[in-house]
Amino acid sequence: MKGGRKFLIGPATENNNTDRVMTLTYLQMTWWGIFRPQLQQQQLQRQQNKMDPHALLVEASNRPQGKKEKQFLIYAATNCVKFRDEAYLALSTIGPAFHGGKCHGGSEPNNNRTFVQNGISLSNWHANVEFYSGFRFCLVMEHVYEQPYVTEKILMAFLGGCIPIYYGSTMVFDIFHPDSFIYYNVTNPTDALERVDHLEHHPEAYHKTMSHPILKDGNATVERYFNFEGETLKTKMRHLLKLQNYKFV
């Protein structure tokens, strides 16, 4: 476990790629422990018909769209990492960009880079999602490239109704629909920058991207990564712990 954000189950080491190792990312744990219960509570408060929160991830028609009036891009980070700041600077050449934390690209704000108060922290997840809903793109890069290290950042952007611009573990391509977000390769960002520029200046292309479902394979992805009540994760855990031959009452 690194920084409390990665959970390894099994007798092998992290680098030993066998079927006896199972990794639970911080992304999975925060979905089950924070986002999912919050979504259920919101439904109760609004007296909405009960909907499985997984439907937001599976059904394209349920994908959050954010506010009707949106700004171009938000970058909210307090851990300033060089490649993230460089990405923010590059993206700010496309349109007016906003930063919501102390990280702002390493230079003073100008006409295309503006500070906006947000109050984002690890203790107010719902407020974070609401804040992201006012932007078309959310720069949500991990602070390090490590397999398989995926935090809540990309999921928070999806739930906020923006297009995530992500960098980090390529595990995300097995979880999320590849056309629903933008992967920003920090060593060669040209493709990502060109795609953001195209989507920003062609509304029909932007809306098409927002019409894709969040998850790559719908309910199959839910069972594989997010549904701790389902049989897929249960079966794998029982196999890892060699409990498949036991019954519990």
- As a whole number, mean pLDDT of residues 153-160 equals 94
**Mean of the pLDDT values across residues 176-196?**
98
Provide mean pLDDT across the span 217-236: 77
Does this model's pTM top 0.85? My answer is: no
Determine, yes or no, domain membership for 74: yes
Domains: count for the chain: 1
Asked if residue 154 lies in contact with residue 164, where contact means CB atoms within 8 angstroms, the answer is yes
| Average pLDDT value for residue range 117-144 | 84
CATH number at residue 154: 3.40.50.11660
What mean pLDDT is predicted for residues 192-214?
A: 98
Please name the residues in contact with 245: beta carbons below 8 A apart, sequence gap of 6 or more. Answer: none
Task: Show the domain range for 198.
Answer: 62-217
Residue 144 in any domain: the answer is yes
Question: What rounded mean pLDDT belongs to the chain?
Answer: 82
pLDDT of 8 higher than 70: no
Residue 10's pLDDT band (cuts 50, 70, 90): very low
Of 91, 98, 110, give the one whose Cα is nearest residue 197: 91
Question: Does 90 map to a domain?
Answer: yes
**Residue of higher predicted confidence among 183 and 19:** 183
Q: Is residue 114 part of a domain?
A: yes
Q: Which tokens sit at 155? A: 């999921």
pLDDT at residue 244 in the model: 56
- Do β-strands 22-25 and 6-9 pair in parallel, antiparallel, or remain unpaired? antiparallel
Q: Among 122-126, 194-198, 240-244, where is mean pLDDT lowest?
A: 240-244
Q: What pLDDT score was predicted for residue 187?
A: 96
Residue 228 lies in a domain: no
Q: What is the mean pLDDT of residues 217-223?
A: 92
| DSSP one-letter string for 93-114 | TTS-EEE-SS-SSSS---TTEE
pLDDT classification of 69: cutoffs 50, 70, 90: very high
Query: Where residue 249 falls among pLDDT bands split at 50, 70, 90?
Result: very low
239 or 66: whose pLDDT is higher?
A: 66
Q: Is residue 236 part of a domain?
A: no
Which long-range contacts does 223-229 make (Cβ < 8 Å, 24+ apart)? 225/28, 225/175, 226/28, 226/31, 226/32, 226/54, 226/57, 227/54, 228/32
